[in-house]
């Protein structure tokens, strides 16, 4: 029950046969960092910084960014805090920036996310400066969203290198060795995962977008909800491919999309090789408890059986049935 779960929040998520799984929290606002900490998160795996702009009526200054990041880091001074650069556009358009996005015919395939940052470099540089400065206070990592080509990744890294140089020249305190990772949420990246893995320090899989782009089903359109399915065999195949690429190249991989917060997918993901999850704050205690109740062998068996199925609905039915064993 909830009370006993709460009492066990400090116990790490380790499978019965001794495999440690990191369970991080996803946040949208700095206040949520504390909720993650009290629920036993191992750090922040996804800080959606664009929420700093949503509902804002004025420009955000470097100090606004810096303060927000510092607040999050103060909750996790010795644990990873993954700050994702702005993921504006598509489902996240702030009032103040409406003009920029007005004439986009297909917002999900248009100017959004890292593409906005690379188009509006001032915005991007301001954010990167604040992250690098705040990083002196903790174990901060930078993550680029919606990367779709190696050229784009290199361009984003170049801007970062440039900002680093500026701070250096200006004699402003900052952290130089901040790990740089990227979201895997565009099919082109999943297909070439090994090539991308060689150029970043970590991957985080954004299943919300990956599913929408692989299955051509808008993630927020209820009329195509039946086409949007995390249990689709094509999704499982791509996830295995991404996890394998991370393992081969030697970089950590996490999943921060909603799929990782859904208990029925947790044994599957771990069985396919995942060792880090980033989930909604409310689901942290339950997911940690589930992990403590399973063995790696059980999870691998579930993953193997699910991967042999042809239909998403069979995978789903099967995973729902297996869930009982761990809750």
Q: Does residue 219 have a known ligand-binding role?
A: yes
Q: Is 256 one of the catalytic residues?
A: yes
- Which position among 181, 206, 263, 267 is part of the footprint of Mg ion (CB under 5 A)? 206
Region from 2-10, 192-200, 207-215, 307-315 binding ligand PEP, contact rule CB under 6 A: 207-215
- Which residue do the tokens 């990367």 mark? 147
CA end-to-end span of the chain, whole Å? 10
Collapsing DSSP to helix, strand or coil, 250 comes out as: coil
Angle between helix axes 312-323 and 296-307 (nearest 10 degrees) is 160
CB nearer to Mg ion: pick between 32 and 209 = 209
Asked if 48 touches ligand PEP (CB under 6 A), the answer is: yes
CB contact set of 302 (below 8 Å; sequence gap of 6+): 267, 268, 271, 319, 322
Q: Please give the DSSP secondary-structure letter assigned to residue 24.
A: E
Contacting ligand PEP within 52-111 (CB under 6 A) = 87
Q: Does residue 1 have a known ligand-binding role?
A: no
- Cβ burial, residue 314 (10 Å; 0-12/13-18/19+): middle
What Å distances lie between residue 216 and 91, 211, 236, 291, CA to CA?
16, 8, 16, 32
- Which position among 80, 89, 257, 263 is part of the footprint of ligand PEP (CB under 6 A)? 257
Q: Site for ligand PEP (CB under 6 A): how many residues?
A: 10
Region from 33-41, 124-132, 204-212, 225-233 binding Mg ion, contact rule CB under 5 A: 204-212
Q: Which helix (DSSP H) or strand (DSSP E) does residue 44 occupy? A: strand 44-48
CB nearer to ligand PEP: pick between 62 and 108 = 108
Q: Are the C-beta atoms of 108 and 154 separated by less than 8 Å? A: no
CB nearer to Mg ion: pick between 128 and 143 = 143
Name the active-site residue from 27, 256, 259, 270: 256
Q: Does residue 185 have a known ligand-binding role?
A: yes
CB of 46 vs ligand PEP, minimal distance in Å: 6
Asked if 262 touches ligand PEP (CB under 6 A), the answer is: no
CB of 228 vs ligand PEP, minimal distance in Å: 12
Asked if 229 touches ligand PEP (CB under 6 A), the answer is: no
Q: Does residue 112 have a known ligand-binding role?
A: no
CB nearer to ligand PEP: pick between 163 and 279 = 279
Q: Does residue 209 have a known ligand-binding role?
A: yes
Backbone angles phi, psi at 19, to 5 degrees: -95, 125
Query: Which tokens in the block code for residue 222?
Result: 């209820």
Q: Which helix (DSSP H) or strand (DSSP E) does residue 100 occupy? A: helix 98-101
- Which residue do the tokens 């692989």 mark? 214
Q: Which residues bind ligand PEP (CB under 6 A)?
A: 46, 48, 87, 185, 206-209, 256-257
Q: Which residues bind Mg ion (CB under 5 A)?
A: 185, 206, 209
Q: Which residues are catalytic?
A: 256
């Amino acid at each position: 029950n909830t009370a006993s779960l709460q009492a066990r929040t400090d116990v790490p998520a380790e499978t019965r046969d001794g495999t440690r799984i990191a369970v991080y929290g996803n946040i949208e606002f700095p206040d949520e960092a504390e909720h993650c900490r009290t629920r036993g998160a191992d750090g922040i795996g996804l800080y959606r910084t664009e929420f700093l702009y949503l509902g804002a009526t004025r420009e955000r200054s470097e100090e606004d960014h810096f303060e927000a990041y510092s607040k999050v880091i103060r909750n996790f001074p010795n644990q990873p805090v993954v700050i994702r650069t702005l993921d504006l556009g598509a489902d996240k358009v702030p009032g103040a920036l409406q003009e920029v996005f007005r004439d986009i015919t297909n917002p999900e395939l248009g100017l959004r996310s890292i593409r906005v940052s690379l188009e509006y470099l001032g915005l991007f540089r301001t954010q990167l400066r604040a992250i690098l400065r705040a990083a002196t206070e903790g174990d901060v990592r930078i993550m680029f969203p919606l990367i779709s080509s190696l050229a784009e990744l290199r361009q984003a890294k170049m801007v970062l290198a440039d900002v680093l140089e500026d701070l250096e020249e200006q004699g402003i305190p900052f952290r130089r060795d901040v790990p740089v990772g990227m979201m895997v949420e565009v099919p082109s990246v999943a297909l070439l995962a090994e090539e991308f893995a060689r150029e970043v320090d970590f991957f985080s899989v954004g299943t919300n977008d990956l599913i929408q782009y692989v299955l051509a089903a808008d993630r927020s359109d209820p009329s195509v909800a039946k086409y949007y399915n995390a249990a689709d065999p094509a999704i499982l195949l791509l996830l295995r491919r991404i996890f394998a690429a991370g393992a081969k190249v030697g970089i950590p991989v996490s999943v921060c999309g909603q799929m990782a917060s859904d208990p029925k997918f947790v044994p599957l993901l771990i069985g396919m090789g995942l060792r880090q999850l980033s989930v909604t704050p409310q689901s942290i205690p339950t997911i940690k408890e589930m992990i403590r109740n399973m063995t790696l062998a059980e999870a691998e068996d579930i993953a193997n059986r699910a991967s042999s199925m042809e239909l998403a609905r069979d995978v789903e039915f099967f995973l729902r049935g297996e869930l009982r064993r761990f809750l």
